[in-house]
């Protein structure tokens, strides 16, 4: 009898782990019902593959029949233990992550040729808004200069399909909801560096016939996310009975679940394949990728606290707002719906629930890892 219960328990635990690892990727199909298939003989280089979004994208492409190679410098912007754990997760799925930099054009070229890469999904970046004010040169170097080196490496290797991460931060002081047709007005160096990367991608499209698609991500969260972001940081502080600090009242963010972001990347690969098969002119587009449903940061601690025991304390302190921080973000995703058939399907309540299942399962290491290396 005991053996039977043990088997049942193991099956239940296995199912839960599968659920947590699947991270609730939304339905991978166009709004017409046609599945987002990968291009034939698709071989993808994912930059920043030991990063949050990079890991999820790499796993999904590999799982669905594409070949994936990763590259990551394991930068020390946040605790490198988290990146190392992500890399182990990738290795368990036979995905190799090269410890190398995209800033080295010749190494990029060799890697692309060695693995017969057909597409590059560029997710490597220097993230973080606050730090970009303190270290602007670092953001220009990584997000602009190294992005140029990556594209030069692609040009040398004859690879012309590029999907790259941009950010809602390019909009800055623009009135929401944000539309791609609006003139960006970034309020911080990080946003400016991402806008510059968009301009450079367009130049490579015009000069060298690159297919370039930039995705302006809106506050991506979910299992394995960056520890400096609000969802992870607030949960870690609650678990360790630390005070939560919020810079200014009334902030709202268009939280976008990582499973929906994976769907967006897959939809772009499908979109490029469709264009290439029709031998249309090379593509140069940017798309907003968001939920279009802003959620108050002020309400986030209570939402997270509902997943802890009643004994868990919640101490929230508001500090002065900062001029470089956007007060409100909201994505108009009409363009992505029209061209990609993309629409986010996971709301913040379901997404936080999925994140907290991962967090509770890994809390013994992930909370401490976040706060041992706290980023401003």
Active site residue ranges: 190
Q: Contact, 214 vs 201, CB < 8 A?
A: yes
DSSP code, position 289: E
Token couple for 298: 């002020």
DSSP 182-223: SPPB-SSHHHHHHHHHHHHHHHHHHHH--EEEEEEE-SEEST
| CA 253 distance to own-chain centroid | 15
For residues 124 and 192, what is the distance between their CA atoms, to the nearest angstrom?
16
For residues 207 and 193, what is the distance between their CA atoms, to the nearest angstrom?
21
For residues 37 and 328, what is the distance between their CA atoms, to the nearest angstrom?
35
Residue listed under structure tokens 């040398």: 156
Token couple for 358: 């991962």
Q: Which residues pair with 71 in a beta bridge?
A: 47, 98
Token couple for 220: 């991506």
User: Taking each helix axis from N to C terminus, what angle separates 348-371 and 80-91, rounded to the nearest 10 degrees?
Assistant: 120
For residues 328 and 321, what is the distance between their CA atoms, to the nearest angstrom?
13
For residues 192 and 213, what is the distance between their CA atoms, to the nearest angstrom?
18
For residues 254 and 217, what is the distance between their CA atoms, to the nearest angstrom?
10
Give the count of alpha carbons within 13 A of 84, CB side only: 8
For residues 216 and 287, what is the distance between their CA atoms, to the nearest angstrom?
6
Token couple for 323: 């001029």
Q: Contact, 219 vs 254, CB < 8 A?
A: yes
For residues 314 and 291, what is the distance between their CA atoms, to the nearest angstrom?
27
């Amino acid at each position: 009898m005991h053996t039977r219960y043990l088997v049942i328990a193991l099956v239940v635990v296995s199912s839960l782990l599968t659920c947590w690892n699947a991270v609730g990727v939304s339905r991978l199909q166009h709004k017409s019902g046609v599945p987002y298939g990968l291009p034939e003989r698709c071989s993808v280089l994912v930059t920043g593959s030991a990063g949050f979004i990079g890991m999820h994208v790499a796993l999904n492409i590999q799982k669905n029949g594409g070949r994936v190679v990763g590259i990551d410098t394991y930068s020390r912007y946040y605790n490198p233990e988290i990146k190392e754990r992500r890399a182990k997760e990738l290795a368990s799925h036979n995905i190799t992550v090269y410890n190398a930099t995209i800033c080295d054009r010749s190494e990029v070229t060799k890697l692309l040729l060695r693995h017969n890469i057909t597409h590059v999904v560029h997710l490597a970046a220097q993230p973080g808004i606050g730090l970009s004010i303190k270290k602007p040169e670092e953001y220009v170097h990584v997000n602009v200069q190294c992005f140029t080196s990556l594209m030069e490496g692609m040009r040398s290797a004859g690879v012309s399909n590029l999907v790259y991460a941009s950010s809602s931060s390019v909009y800055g002081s623009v009135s929401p909801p944000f539309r791609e047709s609006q003139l960006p007005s970034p309020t911080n160096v990080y946003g400016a560096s991402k806008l510059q990367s968009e301009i450079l991608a367009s130049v490579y499209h015009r000069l060298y016939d690159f297919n370039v698609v930039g995705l302006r991500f809106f506050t991506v969260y979910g299992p394995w996310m960056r520890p400096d972001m609000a969802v992870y940081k607030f949960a870690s502080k609650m678990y360790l009975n630390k005070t939560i600090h919020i810079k200014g009242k009334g902030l709202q963010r268009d939280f976008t679940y990582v499973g929906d972001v994976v769907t967006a990347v897959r939809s772009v690969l499908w979109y490029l394949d469709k264009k290439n098969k029709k031998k249309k002119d090379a593509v140069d587009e940017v798309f907003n990728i968001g939920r279009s449903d802003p959620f108050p940061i002020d309400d986030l601690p209570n939402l997270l606290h509902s997943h802890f025991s009643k004994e868990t304390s919640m101490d929230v302190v508001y500090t002065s707002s900062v001029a470089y921080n956007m007060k409100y973000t909201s994505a108009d995703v009409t363009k992505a719906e029209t061209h990609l058939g993309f629409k986010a399907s996971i709301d913040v309540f379901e997404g936080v629930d999925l994140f907290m299942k991962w967090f509770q399962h890994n809390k013994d290491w992930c909370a401490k890892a976040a706060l041992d290396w706290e980023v401003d």
